[in-house]
Chains A and B, each alone.
Chain A
């Protein structure tokens, strides 16, 4: 390290490496050795894996059935379901099981994930027939022998459990999803907002862009241009924020009133049911419908 001068440390490495190669090369070349070791290891790994799977006790394992698809890889172009047996522990989530399956059995198993705590919105999946966050879903709560995991319905599948989110992002962007006050106080002053008003928009600000709601909505499935519950909720978040002011609110109402806006919602409630952040989406959509009617009636 730093106490040593550089050349010294370098020679040391060279020396030790040279020594290592010398003893080995009597028998085989380093390349051969590496390949042999690789081969041996592969066999070992395989054996370990088999053993791991076999020793798994029926009782404390769960079976996950995972959707597989890859447009490029032969054998995966036809969608299929793969079964994995995963050792169960208390508190295990579906995401834990997926990670285990990937790291132990098949490293090509592909899914998005990051925070493991329901804040990043990466891992909304179709689990046992419902849109849920894998990280937020306790396997024990599913009450079923096998857990079926699929990518979100009504979105293009990129690979395995990964869907294309572009359309969802586009819909979010189309409602001008940013705070844009009519006027702002001077530089070092904050705006005022009543606690009641904050309370009113609170739930709507919790959205983590997971796309579960959009995927669950039959209307959004049929009508690709429908803004969808998340985007409408986003519009609600700003339209109802008293800090933005009346003029902006009027504009926002116009956005959600468009052809494929709020009127498309048929109050099916499935969005509200699947939202992992418990946002009362239908309620917000309905309130915006009334706001729209009100703002139109004003001018009669």
Chain B
């Protein structure tokens, strides 16, 4: 098995993950939009309201997953697009790590924000 495992091509995994995250995002994005623009009008949003929602563990987890999947999906999408555009070699590597860094920062900052929104701290 081991050698098969080593011949594993990441192209396929990323492709698959892009689809899996997409499926997850369909639901969550729709929910997110609906909740914050139709149920609660965006203009009426206050920190207090946000804090109430974010303090529910389920909602918090969903939003955090939303953040992570969307980041992966979006950044991976951008990366694919650039590769298809003919990005190669060192530049490709540079872009890759740049994107990874950006994602990590985004997720980290997002997480910090999310935690700040709860009344846990």
Contact = CB atoms under 8 A, between A and B. Distances in A.
Do chains A and B make direct contact within the complex (CB under 8 angstroms)? yes
Interface in A169-194: none
Interface stretch (B7-15, B33-41, B101-109): B7-15
A296 B9 contact: yes
B78 to A, nearest CB: 14
Contacts of A299: 1, 4-5, 8
B11 A222 contact: no
A296 B13 contact: yes
A263 B18 CA distance: 12
A258 to B, nearest CB: 8
B27 interface: no
Given A219-B84, A222-B85, A254-B7, A263 B1 contact: no
Contacts of B11: 257-259, 261, 263
B58 interface: no
Contacts of B8: 296, 299
Contact of B15 (A258, A259, A293): A293
A292 B84 contact: no
Nearest to B13: A296
B16 interface: yes
Interface of A is mostly: helix
Contacts of B5: 299
Contacts of A223: 84, 86
A68 to B, nearest CB: 31
Interface in A214-244: 219, 222-223
Interface residues of B, number: 14
A266 to B, nearest CB: 7
Interface in A252-300: 254, 257-259, 261, 263-264, 266, 289, 292-293, 296, 299
B85 A263 contact: no
Contacts of B16: 293
A19 to B, nearest CB: 74
B104 to A, nearest CB: 24
Contacts of A258: 9, 11
Nearest to A223: B86
Contacts of B13: 296
Contacts of A264: 84
Contacts of A266: 84
Interface in B57-73: none
Contacts of B86: 222-223
A191 B85 CA distance: 44
A204 to B, nearest CB: 21
Contacts of A259: 11
Given A222-B86, A223-B84, A296-B9, A263 B15 contact: yes
A266 B81 CA distance: 10
A70 B8 CA distance: 48
A257 B84 CA distance: 15
5 contacts: A257-B11, A261-B11, A264-B84, A289-B12, A299-B8
Given A263-B15, A289-B15, 11 more contacts: A254-B7, A254-B9, A257-B9, A257-B11, A257-B12, A258-B9, A263-B11, A263-B12, A266-B84, A293-B12, A299-B8
Q: What 3 A-B pairs come out closest when comparing CB atoms?
A: A263-B11, A299-B4, A257-B9
